[in-house]
Amino acid sequence: MNMKKAVATICIVLASATSAVADPTPKMTMPPGSKLVFVEDWSTGRIDPDKWYVLHKHWGAGNHGVVSQNVFVARDMVDGVDKNVLVCRGHGDHYEGSVVGWKGNVKRVGGAIVSKPFFASGRFEVVMKIGSTDAKPGGPKDPKRPIGMVPAIWTYGYRWVGPGSSSPQSFNRSNPLFNPHMRNEYWSEIDMPEFGKGQDLETGLYNTFLNANHQSRKFSTKDAIDGKYHTFTSIWRTHLVPMDGITDGQVKESEGFWWIQDKSIPFANYRGNPLKRVGKNRYQLYAGKEVIHFIDGHYVGTNPTHVPAMAAQLTVGVWFPGWAGASPWKESKVSIASVKVWQYGDPGDVRGILTDDVPTNMDPKGNPLGR
């Protein structure tokens, strides 16, 4: 190599290294093999039951649930185009209408919609508007800020596994999914985000739930609180992690995965996740890696801890938990222009363990239903 080529090569290497150090911000790049598997823009004018179901359910304190009457398709202007959007409506503390929620109450009742498919690692993109720019009678004082209501985008999957006839303090090889270290529940959730804790819509709650473990992070969402449409993107990654020292006698296969059955293995090393068998006495752990969040293509923040690996359904909507504070108005909403999901097929994905839709727990009049 001559001197000029050598100098040029060194400059390129140094420039690349400098660039890498100067801009560590994650990018929204698609890995090879990514597949666009879910697209919704409500152009048909209806909610497709093959894609979605509408929640009719109560959970948490300080609210009266979400109901099907508060979810519907309407027209709106999106980037200058008149089109169909999905509306998830919320009724605040001053609402006195006929739509009822939990136990017949009409105040603090929201609306939410859930995807029929379960998704794992991939890119989730929701184009959504919180509130509006136009003040309306009975609406929030600032229509861009429906305080007391929590607009949210989240993935969720759940399964309860009891001990059966065995002691709740012990593993049971005839019931491999039961783990005495857990609260009998497999729980996969990523909040992408939830807005409005303590009436603060400008700070989003970006939470991850891995069974009984939870990480909550707060990132700025102030640029999206303007009554206009914005694109919320979250990228969920999983991987396989080597688990040294696990022997065949310490695990049991069930439903396509291997489950730890030995209390001598520290729970913190696996958190209830299953294993992949790669050879005699050789295993790898299915594990969440990270969730990276963006608004309008700009990096917001990352969840690096307690990231789930189990596939879950995507939910979009509004609700009124007590921790959101008072909602001194009658009616507000979020509007969803489109939803897209790409699946990455990361090796740490766990599919087929969480498979149940979120159950309804109240009838049309808000009366509680039995389990």
Using one digit for the tens of pLDDT, what is the confidence trace for 125-150?
A: 999 999 999 999 999 999 999 999 99
Residue 12 has what pLDDT? 40
| SS3 call for 170 | coil
Give residue limits of the domains in the chain. Answer: 34-343
* Dihedral (Cα; 87, 42, 56, 37), 10-degree rounding: -130
**What's the pLDDT tens digit per position in 311-360?**
999 999 999 999 999 999 999 999 999 999 999 999 999 999 999 999 99
Exposed, middle or buried by CB within 10 Å (0-12, 13-18, 19+), for 268?
exposed
Q: Which of 10, 54, 38 is nearest to 360 (CA)?
A: 54
pLDDT tens-digit readout, 267-320: 999 999 999 999 999 999 999 999 999 999 999 999 999 999 999 999 999 999
Give the pLDDT score at 299: 97
Query: What integer pLDDT is reported at residue 184 of this predicted model?
Result: 86
Supply angle C-alpha 307, 308, 310, rounded to 5: 160
Per-residue model confidence (pLDDT) at position 9:
45
* Bridge pairing between strands 229-243 and 213-220: unpaired
Which stretch, 167-176, 182-191, 252-261, has highest mean pLDDT?
Answer: 252-261
pLDDT of residue 112: 98
8 A C-beta contact, residue 287 and residue 240: yes
- Residue 27: the pLDDT is 87
Element (H, E) at 75: strand 71-78
CATH number for region 34-343: 2.60.120.200
Contact 90, 70 (CB under 8 A): yes
Other beta carbons within 10 Å of 266: 8
pTM of the shown model:
0.92
Location of structure tokens 């709106």: 76
> Nearest-CA neighbor of 334 among 201, 208, 165?
201
Does pLDDT of 50 surpass 80? yes
Put residue 8 in one of left, alpha, beta given phi > 0 → left and psi -120 to 50 → alpha: alpha
β-partners of residue 89 are: 333
**Alpha helix (H) residue ranges in the chain:** 3-22
Strands 331-343 and 122-130: antiparallel
Neighbour-count burial of 89, counting CB atoms closer than 10 A to its CB (0-12 exposed, 13-18 middle, 19+ buried):
buried
| Closest listed residue to residue 172, CA positions, set 99, 247, 259 | 259
Question: What band does 23 get if pLDDT is binned at 50, 70 and 90?
Answer: low
Give the containing element (helix H, strand E) for 35.
Answer: strand 35-40
Rounded Cα gap, residues 253 and 249, in angstroms: 11
Which stretches within 290-330 are classed as H helix?
Answer: none
Q: How far apart are CA 294 and CA 4, in angstroms?
A: 42
Q: How far apart are CA 191 and CA 321, in angstroms?
A: 15
